[in-house]
Structures are given as structure tokens and as C-alpha cells.
Structure 1
Amino acid sequence: MKLQLVRSTLALFAAGLALACGSAAPAAEFSAQQKAAVEAIIKDYLIKNPEILRDAMVELDRRQKEQEKQAQLTITGDPSSKLYTSAHQAIIGNPQGTATLVEFFDYNCGYCKRALADLANLMKNDANLKVILKDYPILTPGSIEAAQVASALRNQFQGEKFWEYHQKLLSTRGPVGKDQALEVARDMGADMDKLTKDMQDPAVQAGIDETLQMASALNLNGTPSYVVGEDVVIGAVGYAELKTRVDNAHKCGKATC
């Protein structure tokens, strides 16, 4: 990125210098001597004013982030988006809540395990919060297995029942995979024959694929990741940060009012 920026800057300087000198000839027609002279002038200028490259890189970063934000808004700002309406997700908390928090998680994510208490406290202290849980299994093959079990289990467990399952599985110590996910389901009284059958439904993998595509479109690069009030929040930012954003979502529909 830095090398590309330097080359672009040098090219602009060269073009500007050619115009300033009244030359209408393209750079490709410069003689070797002219090119050497231009390069020497540019090099000298940048050495004396290195902050130009810094400022250009800062501006480039700002523009890229703004473009990313606008791309995300086409999804997060659309109430009809599958981010909010997909059939392949768990809804907990208040389904009719006036603020929505979406979490992308992985059952083998250590940070997700730590952030579980943050989510529990948010729901405990906010009766009008709707929470959407999306399986985003990116860490291990076991993560995919656990997501498949959890997805199929939603045919039996919804709402508070699934929330209980989610907490227990996410609190499991050590690696989590199919065996651990099935064990928790069995302990909670799931119909295991039905669960085994439902796991073979193509809709299970289709739902996981949908979430992976959604995460890619939002440029998510890790778990946990959240969407609150149209904003994308990456990482386990803590209860206070999430609460502030949720409170703002209640007030104005955005994470920042």
C-alpha cells in the first residue's frame, strides 16, 4: 500500500511539473536526461516535505473507511436485509424490541466466551432489546460442526430455550465440535432423532453459507462482531460500549446520535 501510494504521488508530481514547465508532451516522451531531472526534483521535494506522504496516506485511509462505511450501510440501514430478516438465525430477548443488536459469533471463540456476560447483562437490563445471533464459524472445523448442530436445534429450541443452550455451549471449556454440541442438546432434553435428521437438511448449511457471505459483505474480520443501530462493531468491546450504542439506538435509531 505504501509503495503504491509513493508511486502514485511521484507520478502526480511528474505530471504537475511537466505542466508547470509548459510541456504538452506526455511523460513517455521525456528523454532520459529529462526524466532524471524530474525525479531528482521530486525526490528533493519529498525529502524536504515528507509530511506530504503522511497526509496523503491519512486521507487515503479516511476515504477507504468512508467507502467501507457506505457499503455497510446498504445492508445495515435496510430493515428488509437478511441481516435482520433471515430465517437462518436465532432471535432472543424481545422479538418486538425497539433496538436490535446482531452478533456474529463462533462457538470456539475465546473473546465470544468472554463477551457472553456482556450480552447477558444487556438483555437483563433492557427489556426492549432484540438480539439476533448469527453462527459465523470461521475458527476451526469443530466450529462448523457446532454451528450445524445449533442451527438444526433451532427447530426445537427457540427464544429463551435456545438462549440457555447457547450459553451452555459457549461456556464449554476446551474445543467445541459436534460431540459437545450434541451433548448439551441431549442434556437439555432435545429429541435427538429429530435433531440428527434435521442436521441433514440442506437448509442448515445454506444458513451458514448465508451468514459467511453477509459477514464478507460487511467486511467482518473476526468474532465477536456486532451490528447496532446501523453501525458495525468489531471485537469484544465490553458492556459499557455496547450499552451506549444500544441506548442510542433506542433514542435515534443509530449507534451514535
Structure 2
Amino acid sequence: MIRKSFAAFGALLLGLAVAVPAARAQEDQTSFNKQQTEDIRKIVQVYLMEHPEVIGDAIEALREKMRAQAEVEAQKAIEARKDEIFNAKDDPTVGNAKGDVVVVEFFDYNCPYCKVVLDPMLEAVKADEKSRVVFKEMPILSEDSVTAARVALAAKKQGKYEEVHRAFMKFRGKLDEKTIFRLAGEAGANVDQIKKEMMAPEIAAQLKKNVELAHALDISSTPSFIVAGAGGQAARTLSGAVEGQVFSQLIKITRNGGKLQ
């Protein structure tokens, strides 16, 4: 969940490797004089130039260390906010309401990858029969995305969220206001009622809460997912156009306490 660039690590590592002996020499002048320090610096430089794979190994070790640390921090953040993530009463859901595995999706209706992933995700959950999806509206791409999210949540009050959600996701192209209302009507929602309710304070508060929650979890792109047990255990995060087989495997792994059996 923590996203950092490793592009400069090679140069950084080389600089540190060269600088460390000099720094130590400065700390303990009784160990190395100026000439000895310079000799050590040259030895390290020559060694790294002759064995560049050492830098690659160090970068990979650092990458793995940061990945492990990111997982630890992600687990702490998920544990601290698990009720908001998995059990927020206003979040739309599909699947088995009493399922033992939960797939939480943060998405934007104008995100092309969100559209691609819809069917694979829902098919995996449907085939499993013991899991559910929690939808977290996170409209970050445009004002029209905000409008679409408001309309979908207003449609939820009519029991039409899933139909409207699917209609928006199936539409290929950028959703604008006219298209949003047309698709909502075609999906069976009462558009006149939606227009009255979509600006309700509770809908605005829900969207704001979703964005703030995503920020707290270091989620900044759509689609992003959290797959976990119903109580938040064995949580994993991933993002992008995830294939259906990946969802199926993660559901099984989560159910087995994090192990693939």
C-alpha cells in the first residue's frame, strides 16, 4: 500500500556504500587517517564497479524489506478501521450477506479498469456463494464521476443500486450528466426522485468518508481492493484490472486463514 519509487536506489546505495567508511573514519580518527580513508573509499568504488550485481542484490533486499514493512503498516491501518471498511451500514453490497470473505472495492464510474473488472469480480463471488462485495464509491476522476456516485447512492434508496451500478459500469465511454440520468432511468430507477435525493447531506458525507478512508489506507487509485475475512482477518490489498481467477484464489486463501490449500 505504500508506493515508493526505487529508481534512485542504485545511485543512493552506491553513494552510501562509498560514504560509510569515510563517515566512520571521521567518527573515529584514531582508526583511519585521511589517506587510509581515501584508500578505503577507492577500494569500495572499485569493488562495486567490478561487482555491480551487489548493488542489484542490495536494492532487491531493500525492496523486499519495504514491501514487508508496507504489509505490516497496511494490516495495522485495516485493523484500526475495519468496521468502516467491512461493516459500514450505508455501503452497497452484493453476494452472501453472511459471507465469511469480503471483497471491498474502491472505484470510480469513469475508471476504465473498474469497468473491466466488474464481471470477473462478481462472477467469482457468485461462484463461491459464501462471499460478498462491498462497494466503496470513490469518485476522484471528474465532477461527472461525483454525479454518477451520487445518483447510484440515491438509487440505492429505491432498491436499484445494483442495476444502476451495472448500467454505469457497462457503458463504454465517459459518463456525462445527461448519460448518467438516462442510464439510471433505463436501469429502472425513478430519475425524478433521484434528482431530489442525490444532493442529500448523508450522501455527501458518505462520499467524503470513503475518500478519507482510502487516504488513511494509502489507496489513491481505482480500482483498489481489500480481500479479507468477515472480521478483517487475513486481509490483502491489490489494485488494477484483476482477473477473475485471482479473485477466486484470494477468496479461497482468505478462507483458509491466508494459506493456499
TM bucket by the smaller chain? 0.7 to 0.9
Contact 2:164 2:183 in 1 (8 A): yes
Shift of 1:89: 2.1
TM-score (norm. length: structure 1):
0.82
State the match for 2:231 in structure 1. none
State the match for 2:72 in structure 1. 70
Match of residue 251, structure 2, among 213, 232, 246 = 246
State the match for 1:24 in structure 2. 28
State the match for 2:5 in structure 1. none
Contact 1:104 1:135 in 2 (8 A): yes
TM-score (norm. length: structure 2):
0.81
Contact 1:14 1:42 in 2 (8 A): no
Match of residue 119, structure 2, among 114, 117, 120 = 117
State the match for 2:162 in structure 1. 163
**What percent of counterpart residues are identical?**
28
The amino acid across from 1:143 in the alignment is S
DSSP-derived class of the 1:133 partner: strand
Q: Does 1:212 align with 2:211?
A: yes
RMSD: 2.8
User: Given the superposition, is the C-alpha separation of residues 26 and 193 from structure 1 closer, same or farther in structure 2, using an over 3 Å criterion?
Assistant: farther
Instruction: String of CA shifts for 1:199-230, please: whole Å, max 9, x gaps.
Output: 22233233222222322333334322211120
DSSP-derived class of the 2:256 partner: helix
Contact 2:163 2:187 in 1 (8 A): no
Q: Does 1:232 align with 2:237?
A: yes
Shift of 1:65: 0.9
Match of residue 51, structure 1, among 50, 53, 59 = 53
The amino acid across from 1:48 in the alignment is E
The amino acid across from 1:93 in the alignment is G
Tell me, which stretches of 5 or more residues in structure 2 are unaligned? Answer: 1-7, 229-234
State the match for 1:100 in structure 2. 102
Instruction: Identify the range of structure 1 (169-178 vs 38-47) with the bigger mean alpha-carbon deviation.
Output: 38-47
Q: Does 1:199 align with 2:198?
A: yes
Shift of 1:179: 2.7
Match of residue 22, structure 2, among 14, 21, 24 = 14
| Distance in 1 (alpha carbons) for counterparts of 2:260 and 2:216 | 22
| Distance in 2 (alpha carbons) for counterparts of 1:63 and 1:209 | 33
Structure 1 consecutive aligned stretches of length 4 or more whose deviation exceeds 6 Å = none
Instruction: Identify the range of structure 1 (204-213 vs 224-233) with the bigger mean alpha-carbon deviation.
Output: 204-213
Contact 1:72 1:217 in 2 (8 A): no
| Distance in 2 (alpha carbons) for counterparts of 1:247 and 1:26 | 61
